[in-house]
């Protein structure tokens, strides 16, 4: 469902250009669980943002469900983001003046879903992440792990097919991090495509498919390696 072909992206950092992505090819199927690892500045987050339609490639193409997204107008990309993609950030990005429930409702509100419908849906997903009792609390009344679970609830309330997590445990302690990972893995088990950027090796190795990036290029991809080995075996 995700297909990147020869994607390049260059940022201007100060005076010098930084090539965040170089000729990246990537194929991700429905329901996969993959982790993206690599040193900082290797282009992990850029890759995630590219897949999340927050960024446009300078060259190359990105097909999402066989649709060329790089030429889509901004409105349609926004619609794709709203309906197909859920984001989870390292720093949670909850709106502090809104309650947990209202934060979860936000994507549905932007999509024009009626208050009644989205209340039901938001309660449902909050229950799913175990925060039903905290729905009326504001972010400053919640712990880090709880904040990230609210963020996950928000990411999945529109029932997206892709879940993109950028260092989801980066700001959390060990125990909370474990909880978050198991919530995410449960979602993947239910069929959602999960892609997670992390530089925690233990976490990254839990994924069925692991990608390692260096200097904007995919240096290693466990699937292509196993595929290659499989190919060797059959020969």
Partner 1 sequence: MQLSDQIRFNGQIFLRHRVRTGLLLMAVGLGVASVILLTSLGEGARRYVYQEFSALGNQLLIVFPGRKETTGGTPPVYGTAPRDLTLEDAMAMSRIPSVKAVAPIIAGTAAIAVDNISRESIVLGSTPEIFQVRQLEVSQGKILPDRTRSEAMAVCVLGAKLKRELFGHGRAIGEWIRAGDRRMRVVGVLVERGESLGMDLSDMIIVPVRTAEQMFNSPGLFRILIELAGNADLPRTESRIKAIIRERHEGDEDITLVSQDAMLASFDNILATLTLAIAAIAAISLLVAGILIMNLSLISVSQRKREIGLLKAIGASSAQVRQLFLGESLMLVSLGSVAGVIFAWAVVLIIGRLWPVFPIFPPWWSVPAAVGTALLAGLVFSLMPARRAAALDPVLALSGQGGGQGG
Residue 28: its H or E element: strand 16-28
Taking CB under 8 A as the binding criterion, the range among 32-40, 107-115, 121-129, 181-189 that sits at the site for partner 1 is 107-115
d(CA 162, CA 83): 10
Would you say 166 and 90 are in contact if contact means Cβ atoms under 8 Å apart?
A: yes
As measured in angstroms, the least distance from the Cβ of 53 to partner 1 is 9
Residues 34 and 37: their CA atoms lie apart, in Å, by 10
In this structure, are residues 40 and 69 in contact, taking their beta carbons and an 8 Å threshold?
no
Nearer to partner 1, 33 or 80 (CB): 80
Residue 44 interacts with partner 1 (CB under 8 A)? no
Binding partner 1 by CB under 8 A: which of 8, 10, 61, 79?
Answer: 79
Work out which of 31, 41, 82, 144 binds partner 1, going by CB under 8 A: 82
Q: Two tokens at 29?
A: 């199927």
Number of residues that bind partner 1 (CB under 8 A): 29
Question: What is the C-alpha to C-alpha distance for residues 1 and 108, in angstroms, rounded to an integer?
Answer: 24
The answer to the question of residue 54 lying near partner 1 (CB under 8 A) is yes
Q: How many CA atoms lie within 13 A of 17 on its CB side?
A: 8
112 near partner 1, judged by CB under 8 A: yes
Between CA 156 and CA 30 the distance in angstroms is 16
Q: Binding of partner 1 at residue 115 (CB under 8 A)? A: yes
- Using DSSP bridges, classify how beta strands 162-166 and 2-13 pair: parallel, antiparallel or unpaired: unpaired
- Residues 206 and 100: their CA atoms lie apart, in Å, by 29
Contact 48, 36 (CB under 8 A): yes
Q: Looking at 14, 16, 66, 74, which residue binds partner 1 (CB under 8 A)?
A: 74
Q: Which of residues 136-195 bind partner 1 (CB under 8 A)?
A: 154-155, 158
| Residue closer to partner 1, measured from CB, 15 or 235 | 15
Chosen residue from 95, 127, 189, 228 binding partner 1 by CB under 8 A: 95
Q: Residue 108 and residue 114: Cα distance in Å, rounded?
A: 8
Please pick, from the candidates 39, 68, 71, 78, the single residue that binds partner 1 as defined by CB under 8 A. Answer: 78
Rule CB under 8 A: is residue 49 a binding residue for partner 1? yes
- Nearer to partner 1 by Cβ, of 166 and 221: the residue is 166
Q: Is 115 helix (H, G, I), strand (E, B) or coil?
A: helix
Stretch that binds partner 1, among 29-37, 88-96, 181-189, 200-208 (CB under 8 A): 88-96
The first and second tokens of residue 191, run together, are 């069929």
Residue from 12, 40, 114, 202 in contact with partner 1 (CB under 8 A): 114
Contacting residues toward partner 1, per CB under 8 A: 49, 52, 54-55, 74-75, 78-79, 81-83, 87, 89, 93, 95, 97-98, 102, 106-107, 109-112, 114-115, 154-155, 158
């Amino acid at each position: 469902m995700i297909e990147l072909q020869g994607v390049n992206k260059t940022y201007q950092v100060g005076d010098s250009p930084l090539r965040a992505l170089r000729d990246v090819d990537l194929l991700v199927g429905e329901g996969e669980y993959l982790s993206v690892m690599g040193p900082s500045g290797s282009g992990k987050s850029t890759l995630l943002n590219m897949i999340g339609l927050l960024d446009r490639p300078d060259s190359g193409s990105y097909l999402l469900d066989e649709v060329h997204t790089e030429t889509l107008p901004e409105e349609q990309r926004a619609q794709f983001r709203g309906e197909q993609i859920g984001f989870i950030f390292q720093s949670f990005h909850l709106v502090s003046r809104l309650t947990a429930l209202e934060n979860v409702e936000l994507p549905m509100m932007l999509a024009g879903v009626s208050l009644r419908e989205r209340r039901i849906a938001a309660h449902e997903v909050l229950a799913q992440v175990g925060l039903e009792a905290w729905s009326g609390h504001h972010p400053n009344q919640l712990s880090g792990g709880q904040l990230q679970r609210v963020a996950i609830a928000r990411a999945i309330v529109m029932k997206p097919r892709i879940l993109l997590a950028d260092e989801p445990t980066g700001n959390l302690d060990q125990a909370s991090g474990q909880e978050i990972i198991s919530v995410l893995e449960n979602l993947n088990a239910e069929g959602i495509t999960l892609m997670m950027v992390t530089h925690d090796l233990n976490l990254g190795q839990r994924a069925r498919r692991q990608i390692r990036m260096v200097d904007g290029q995919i240096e290693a991809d466990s699937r292509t390696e196993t595929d290659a080995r499989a190919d060797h075996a059959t020969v």
